Structure 1
Amino acid sequence: MTSRAMARPSRAPGSSSATDRLRGIDAARGLALLGMMATHLLPTFESNASLTPTWIGLTFSGRAAALFAVLAGIGLALSTGKQMPAEGRALGAARRGIALRAGVIAAVGLTLGGMEVNLAIILVHYAVLFLCVLPFLGLKLKPLCAWAAGWILVSPVVAYLLRPWLMASYPPLKLGHNPKWEDLLTPSQLLGDLFFTGVYPVFQWLSYLLVGLVIGRLALTKATVPVLLLAGGTVLAVLAKALGTAAMESWGGRAALQDVLNAPNYPLDSVLQVNLTGVQQEGSWWWLASAAPHSATTLDLIHTSAVAAAVVGACLLLGRLADWLDLDLLLPLRGPGAMTLTLYTVHVWVVAGFYLKPLPAGWTQDGMYFAHAATAIVVGMVFVLLKWRGPLEWLGHGANQLGRQGRIVLSG
């Protein structure tokens, strides 16, 4: 989550530049923020006994958060050499800066974790992902592709084997709440939750940052690359979801999982469509054949990564179209996308203020969402037009600069 305020350079219509690329990435990040707000504020299930998924749940569940993670990898690639990764001292400086910025994000996440709120807050996991991806920043495109593919294929199997052992510990290595400062006193439980047993398992989610690094190492300013991302991502997303559906409906997966489902309050039909975070995925290897949101299986990782790639491709193409028309069409999205850490934090804080309280008179869930979304868009646009960083983005940027210059300061 970064902040970029960029003036429009003078150039001929139809030309391309680094600024256009960053506008498209920020626009995708803004779309991810609005999607996460939707899953937080709007119902993902109908309020009936069958828990029928709503269109919000079917559209955004699992995809918005994954888009955030993929964009994190893209941002890291762009800040560490773009197509040619940094080397030597430059790479070491970049790693130190990213590590300190991750510390800022983690501190914000741990602080938010102390609030009473019915949301799964991603920031601590996001920060740990930044640290986990540091060894991969110096890799070029081909090795990155191999690592990303291997991690997507292998990590869900390893996690499936380890999760029952972690849960059998006493107490189980699962928090059951958002990470907060007090959890630092029980590091084994905190790490078990962050990496394997929590809502955003870092071990499998590292796949998203590796995919993002791959995308970020591409020549994003070439016209063909966004087209390939959009077309290839769409096809791969459809194939992964179709394969998961076939495994459940035609090859026996649904019946096998129904026999071992240990969460009777979660109808299998519903959670396979919207959310598996409340279900302990154990007792059958068929869990690994699912493409359900938040299942962190190979098919889920492929599907959500492909959706993210398609969204990024679409935003980059819209950026090129806006450049050709000489209109900033992406401003309503890239505004909030340039200061997501600040806006996400304020969003969580406001939602926490209404936890277990009735909405103000005359307000509905739809109205609350549109208020959050409209505020994020307006504030983001103002900050971008004034070329300001968001407050937390400013803090993260300062930490990054401190890390990058630390060795020079100490040796000078």
Structure 2
Amino acid sequence: MMARSPSPAAGGHSTLRLSGNRLTGVDAARGLALLGMMATHLMPTFESDANLTPTWVGLAFSGRASALFAVLAGVGLALSTGRQVPLAGPALGLARRGIALRALVIAVVGLTLGGLEVNVAIILVHYAALFLCVLPFLGLPVRHLLAWAGGWILLAPLVAYLLRPWFLAGDPPLHLGHNPSWEDLGTPGPLLGDLFLTGYYPVFQWLAFVLVGLAIGRIPLHRARVAALLLVAGTAVAIAAKALGNALMEDWGGRQALEAVLDEPRWPLESLLQVNLTGIEQTGSWWWLATAAPHSGTTLDLLHSASAAAAVLGGCLLLGSLGTWLNLDLLLPLRGAGAMTLSLYTVHVWVLAAFYVDGRPDGWTDEGMYTAQAITAVALGILFAVLKWRGPLEQVAHGAHVLGSRPLTPVR
């Protein structure tokens, strides 16, 4: 459906393309996040040389694609709970219950996938936990959300740095070392410790991404000037955060201080700081809090990744606006896949697990595997979008949300 032309009564602001009641730019950004995560799963993030030189995939997508997912989760929650004016009272309570049931569906899928033999970190259980953790914030206005997000970005990394060694020193350590699965429900301590602090996607710090997304979703995203502000401001802050992190590491002695305490000689710290700090025990020096490395969970990492996500969303919204002006659906290849990421991500992980056990077909390269899966995801997304179908798992999650959002009928 094409957005109506702006009227003088609407203040003269240009509007962005909608699909039904969805902002297509949000779905398109989610499609980019899916393709980016698939790239980090299928293609190397380091070269195979002695220095482990980062590849373009590692530099472009590591940490950013998954963070984009989390920010867009917050945006989606804002759009489904009142947009600029958050729900309140009984309506908010019903919405929270529906979101909780949707999170349960996502967690079930994630725990099931966690039982597969696959060499990737599956985000779904952490994603479901983020949905639950953000429930108390759904009724807040944008200025309060921005304050919470800013405070979380500043303080959560410090608290995590202080708590993580204590979690890892437990007997057993509160850390899984693998994807959460159904079996881990029998050991809730390590499971919760891994989900919130010691795992690949620590919910305690990553809640900042969802709070940023929730605040973004409370502003008028249908206005082109707002989208442009997201693009420009997000890009500027992302560049500034990364530049400051690099200066702290390379110019002010941070990397040398960390190399002195790092007990991991196989991995050059210079490369890790550019691509991924997961698996490195960030203890022994306060300098760990000064990095902007992907998956470090520091203030600069959270600020950079959240700002980059805002910029990507702004760019997608503007591209949708351009498509409206040209009367073309420029976002269809991305928004189709982005509207069914739960289904496509699940199939992607199943395929990876099949190849992990049986090996890939002869002659298939990393690039070939990625191209095949990316084209398939885009093609399926376009088909479902044209037919106006939900993805199968999206349908289940939607049904759970609707069921949870219904008022309870009093017993007579």
Q: Report the TM-score, using the length of structure 2 for normalisation.
A: 0.96
| Structure 1 position 375 matched with structure 2 position 343 | no
In 1, Cα distance between the equivalents of 2:17 and 2:95?
Answer: 23
Amino acid at match of 2:408: I
With over 3 angstroms needed to count, the CA separation of the structure-2 counterparts of 1:12 and 1:286, relative to structure 1, is same
Partner of 1:137: 138
* Alpha-carbon offset, residue 359 of structure 1: 2.0
Report if aligned partners of 1:266, 1:279 keep a CA contact under 8 Å in 2. no
Gaps of 5+ in 1: 1-7
Distance in 1, matches of 2:308 and 2:187, equals 36
The alpha-carbon deviation at position 49 of structure 1 amounts to: 2.3
Q: What is the letter of the counterpart of residue 339 of structure 2?
A: A
* Aligned pairs (5 A) from 1:137-286: 137-286=138-287
CA deviation digits over 1:261-296, x for unaligned, max 9? 122222101100000002011110000000000001
SS at match of 1:408: coil
Aligned residue in 2 for 1:3: none
Instruction: Give the deviation of 1:411 after TM superposition.
Output: 5.5
Aligned amino acid, residue 403 of structure 1: G
Distance 1:152 1:299 in 2: 8
Q: How does 1:17-36 map to 2 (within 5 A)?
A: 18-19=18-19, 22-36=23-37
Q: Which residue of 2 aligns with 1:408?
A: 408
What is the rounded CA distance, in whole Å, between the counterparts of 2:40 and 2:331 in structure 1?
A: 22
User: Matches of 2:298 and 2:410 in 1, distance apart?
Assistant: 45
- Alpha-carbon contact 2:152-2:205 (below 8 Å) kept: yes
Determine helix, strand or coil for the equivalent of 2:297.
Answer: coil
Going from structure 1 to structure 2, the CA distance change for 1:395 and 1:88 (only over 3 Å counts) comes to same
Tell me the amino acid that sits aligned with residue 137 of structure 1: L
User: Aligned AA for 2:156?
Assistant: S
Query: Residues 50 and 356 from structure 1, CA distance in 2 versus in 1: closer, same or farther, beyond 3 angstroms?
Result: farther
Summarize deviations over 1:382-409 as a string: whole Å, max 9, x none.
Answer: 001101010000000000001001x333
| Mapped contact 1:21–1:221 kept (Cα < 8 A) | no
Query: What is the CA distance between 1:153 and its match in structure 2?
Result: 0.2
Question: SS state of the match for residue 182, structure 1?
Answer: helix
Q: Deviations over 1:168-208 (max 9, x none)?
A: 10111100000000000000100000000000000000000
Separation in structure 1 between the aligned mates of residue 309 and residue 404 of structure 2, nearest angstrom: 30
Contact 1:110 1:179 in 2 (8 A): yes
Name the residue aligned to 1:328: 329
134-143 vs 218-227, greater mean Cα deviation: 218-227
Cα offset, 1:53, TM superposition: 0.6
2:73 matched residue in structure 1:
72
Q: For the residues of structure 2 that align with 1:367 and 1:18, how far apart are their CA atoms?
A: 34
Contact 2:15–2:224 under 8 Å retained in 1: no
Greater CA drift, 130-139 or 21-30 = 21-30
Q: Compute the TM-score of the two structures, normalised by the length of structure 1.
A: 0.96
**Quick one: higher RCO (CA 8 Å, sep 6+), 1 or 2?**
1
CA distance in 2, matches of 1:30, 1:195: 26
Q: Aligned partners of 1:308, 1:411: CA distance in 2, in Å?
A: 47
- Work out the CA distance in 1 between the residues paired with 2:246 and 2:47: 22
Contact 1:21–1:220 (CA under 8 A) maintained in structure 2: no
Which amino acid in 1 is paired with 2:409? V
Bigger shift: 44-53 or 369-378? 44-53
Distance in 2 separating the partners of 1:297 and 1:41: 26
CA distance in 2, matches of 1:10, 1:229: 20
Q: Name the counterpart of 1:101.
A: 102
- Report if the CA contact (8 A) 1:21-1:319 is conserved: no
Separation in 1, partners of 2:150, 2:355? 42
Paired-residue identity, %: 68
> CA offset at residue 101 of structure 1?
0.2
**Is the partner of 2:163 in helix, strand or coil?**
helix
Q: Distance in 1 between matches of 2:221 and 2:22?
A: 7
Which residue of 1 is the match for residue 342 of structure 2? 341
Shift of 1:47: 1.3
1:399 equivalenced with 2:400 (yes/no): yes
1:10 positional shift: 7.4
Unaligned 5+ runs, structure 2 = 7-13
- How big is the alpha-carbon RMSD for the aligned residues of Structure 1 and Structure 2? 1.4
The letter of the residue matching 1:359 is R
Q: What is the alpha-carbon distance in structure 2 between the residues aligned to residue 356 and residue 48 of structure 1?
A: 26
The structural deviation recorded for 1:222 is: 1.5
Contact 1:15 1:324 in 2 (8 A): no
Task: For 1:31-70, list aligned pairs within 5 A.
Answer: 31-70=32-71
